[in-house]
Structure 1
């Protein structure tokens, strides 16, 4: 009988996007179950990926009563299933999953940290989130920050000790499928048609952003920088691929209005497949305030796009200044303008970065290699912690 592995994220979107393909791969070696909220979407994920599913209601907000219900439901599930490994992702799934697994006596309790939302929080809420994070790590057997910078932050904050932390490979939670993110799948005609359908002039230099259109992703600064630059350089466009989240982290009102009214800013909403948008673009702009190990930067690189990223963990590990992109200070609009201007005006420089971009990603972040590293880690921990 194969050993049981349970993977938990707060919402199915994380299973679909952040861990794409990974659970199906692990299903060859374990009996895998995926746990998340949003029952219908989770069931669909299970069918598509041929893994078991178990639904637990969870939210990304602070909801203690609901969270305790989730812990109790998971505890009963673990006692029944008796998994060898429970592996959580995202803060809420982490605290709920690790607590239930500890109470149920699960031998291997693993938690991946793919970013710290608390970094942009202050006051009492920050204190609560700090304690929750610390408690999650205490409950876990092993904690996996998905970047070296994130590991340093965790140590500096005193959330966990060095012996409990490990970065797998060069970082990331899932690597990247470089055969899927391949620029050569899109020919000149396809790219021309895509620009036409978006309403973007063929001669324009396109800056692209992919992700949630919220303040902590640096969208206020990006829109302001683009607005300034476009006033003096007509042949540039800004393509924003992703959803607005007005409830959790809204943009400034003036930013939102500029996005709606500017004739050279284009929005697409959430897109299942971002490759056609990367294929028509010239550079990624990603001025985020905090990340774990951003998939978008890897995806853009694999599609031959140089990137402008903020100097935060993850971003400054994927991008090497002057090799495959430019690194700017966080929340610095003028530095962003300077970098964007450099990309538009110095074609030789931009082409050089572009020619290196894909090689850098293929060399270090191939998805199947990451899966093998993770599987090896599971097997090593089994030998260490589980009596046969």
Structure 2
């Protein structure tokens, strides 16, 4: 690895990574941040205050600065946040700002340009506007467009997302990059592995809960339980299969964010569908290892890391042709892709895997191999660092 050029202050180049939520920072940034620090960057992470940031701030060469940010539009609060971000950036004087997540990308990009940061790069992890309608869609799309157009460069975390950004004219194609096969975070393939011979106490307890539901392959979902994730489609498909006499068990892992879906799940149980709902689970590894089929019937994504985690655990995945999701499976090799918001299409794919255990095994093995080759976390971090290093060196040479 070639040494980095000297930063604007005479020491190592200063990089700021900005995300909206402390949860995102704590969950997804430690490995990436440590990789950048070890590669010679002076790194500051800016996010909203909250629990879980101690581990991030304890990393060598990584500083954490908190600025309150609200996820939804709030004019006065957003103005205050922008002012605080400008103040923070002028104190840090970064050579490069990397923004991700909608609100941090919007306000962070504006603050960085106002602070005359030499290089502003936007990590696009998904289009929130895709599943909105009416005036709200117009507003959110306009705000997303500000973040992309005011950034010097944009990194989309999947090929289909990048294509959609160009189609919507949110940026010029020459300012867009997709690194490798995509993925914003990558997967810890040493941790996410197929089910071992000996089971942990948590996995054994989980299997006992599933056994109480009956028999049949376990179809699992992991993620926020919201309409955007296609949960109503999954429930409809599972009920159709169950009513037709196909043995299955459904496991939903995630926090319910829509009261209607809570009622929908309760109604399905009342009609006899074997459903295990698990909220507030900190470690999802045992849940993957208890599944036979992973299903993400989502309506929109950037690049669903959950599909990569399932693949690393040797599972076949059924997902949709939604932006981002379509890139997380090799159709007919690691899983199956269905039309989004299409119950019959999902029923057909799930039935195919329910009825073919050999296919499940074959897809799962190929999925594990694919993740190891393309999405191992260290590989994804290295691609990001090398790309930003190249952009930074080009900017330094252009200014010299």
Q: Taking structure 2 as the reference length, what is the TM-score of the superposition?
A: 0.90
Q: 1:69 aligns to what SS in structure 2?
A: helix
Map 1:149-164; keep pairs closer than 5 Å: 149-164=160-175
User: CA–CA distance in 2 between the matches of 1:288 and 1:372?
Assistant: 29
Specify the alignment match of 1:143 in structure 2: 154
Q: Which of 7, 16, 38 is residue 6 of structure 1 equivalent to?
A: 16
Tell me which residue corresponds to 2:206: 194
Name 2:346's counterpart in structure 1. Answer: 336
CA distance in 2, matches of 1:19, 1:335: 36
Distance in 1 of aligned mates of 2:75 and 2:268: 37
SS in 1 for 2:130: helix
Residue equivalent to 1:257:
266
**Is 1:362–2:383 an aligned residue pair?**
no
The offset of 1:359, in angstroms, is 0.8
Give 1:273's match in structure 2, choosing from 262, 279, 283. 283
Partners of 1:89 and 1:114 within 8 A in 2: yes
Answering whether residue 179 of structure 2 is matched by residue 179 of structure 1, we say no
Distance (Å, rounded) in 1 between the aligned partners of 2:392 and 2:263: 54
Moved more, 52-61 or 207-216: 52-61
Correspondence 1:71-150 to 2 at 5 A: 71-150=82-161
Q: Which residue of 1 aligns with 2:251?
A: 239
Q: Equivalences for 1:349-388 in 2 at 5 Å? A: 349-386=359-396, 387=399
Structure 1 residue 43: Cα displacement: 3.7
Query: How far apart, CA to CA, are the structure 1 residues paired with 2:262 and 2:53?
Result: 38
Deviation at residue 120 of structure 1 after TM alignment: 0.8
Task: Quote the offset at 1:313 in angstroms.
Answer: 2.9
Distance apart, 1:351 and its partner CA: 2.2
- Where 1:221 maps in the other structure, the secondary structure is helix
> In the alignment, which of 42, 65, 87 is matched to residue 31 of structure 1?
42
SS in 2 for 1:323: coil
Long gaps (5+) in structure 2: 1-10
Q: Matches of 1:47 and 1:374 in 2, distance apart?
A: 21
Tell me the distance in 2 between the aligned counterparts of 1:259 and 1:91. Answer: 34
Aligned partners of 1:18 and 1:263: how far apart in 2?
A: 35
Judge conservation of contact 1:21–1:49 (CA < 8 Å) in 2: no
Inter-CA distance 195–3: structure 2 relative to 1 (3 Å threshold): same
Q: Tell me whether 1:204 sits opposite 2:213 in the alignment.
A: no
Once residues 384 and 177 of structure 1 are traced to their aligned partners in structure 2, the CA distance between those partners, rounded to angstroms, is 31
Matched with 1:306 is 316
Alignment root-mean-square deviation, CA: 2.0
The structural deviation recorded for 1:52 is: 1.4
Other-structure match for 1:296: 306
Contact 1:319 1:326 in 2 (8 A): yes
1:219 aligns with 2:231: yes
Cα distance, 1:289–1:235 mapped onto 2, change above 3 Å: same
Which range moves more in the overlay, 12-21 or 363-372? 12-21
When the two structures are aligned, how many residues end up with a matched partner? 384
- Asked whether the 8 Å contact 1:19–1:173 carries over to 2, the reply is no
Question: Once the 2 structures are TM-superposed, how far is the Cα of residue 215 of structure 1 from its aligned partner?
Answer: 0.3
Query: Which digits, 9 at most, give the CA deviation of each residue in 1:350-375, with x for residues without a partner?
Result: 22212212011112111111111111
